[in-house]
């Protein structure tokens, strides 16, 4: 993968609360309407062990165990998205972690119910979106829309 492609890709997870509330299509429409292209997508149910591995960056924080239990509590939809400066742009579209503090019209503002049940995970630009993408997808499962 080229460095340009890596900077233009990010990961979105539609979390179990949103899947349970049948918001998959609604959230994806908002993401696509913002200009993102879906280059990979799958529905999975993470085991607790896979949840621990995914959220390892948060290990030791007071919310870690709750987060792992929540992400492994039901099916999720993992999406690899493509857009210029994708990680930063996606965080703008989904809004702040706390739905009450998220900008009006963002995904979390519209559909989140709490800081924990905020319907989506979006890779943080300063962490490693490429690593998170690789957690869910092999390169041959992704399609370039450049």
106: closest CA among 120, 116, 117? 120
Sequential pLDDT tens for the chain (146 residues):
554 455 699 999 999 999 999 999 999 999 999 999 999 999 999 999 999 999 999 999 999 999 999 999 999 999 999 999 999 999 999 999 999 999 999 999 999 999 999 999 999 988 889 999 999 999 999 987 65
Name the pTM for this structure.
0.93
Q: Write out the catalytic residue numbers.
A: 121
Place of tokens 């607790």: 48
Catalogue all structural domains in the chain, each as residue range(s) with its CATH number. 3-141 (3.30.70.141)
**pLDDT at 107 (0 to 100):** 98
């Amino acid at each position: 993968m080229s460095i340009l492609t890596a900077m233009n890709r990010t990961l979105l997870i539609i979390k179990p609360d949103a899947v349970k509330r049948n918001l998959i299509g609604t959230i994806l429409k908002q993401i696509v309407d913002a200009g993102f292209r879906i280059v990979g997508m799958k529905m999975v149910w993470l085991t607790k062990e896979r949840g621990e591995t995914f959220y390892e960056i948060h290990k030791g924080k007071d919310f870690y165990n709750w987060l792992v239990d929540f992400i492994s509590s039901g099916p999720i939809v993992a999406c690899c998205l493509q857009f210029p400066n994708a990680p930063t742009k996606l965080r703008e579209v989904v809004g702040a972690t706390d739905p009450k503090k998220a900008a009006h019209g963002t995904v979390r503002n519209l559909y989140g119910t709490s800081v924990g049940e905020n319907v989506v995970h979006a890779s943080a630009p300063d962490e490693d979106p490429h690593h998170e993408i690789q957690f869910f997808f092999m390169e041959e499962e992704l399609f370039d829309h450049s």
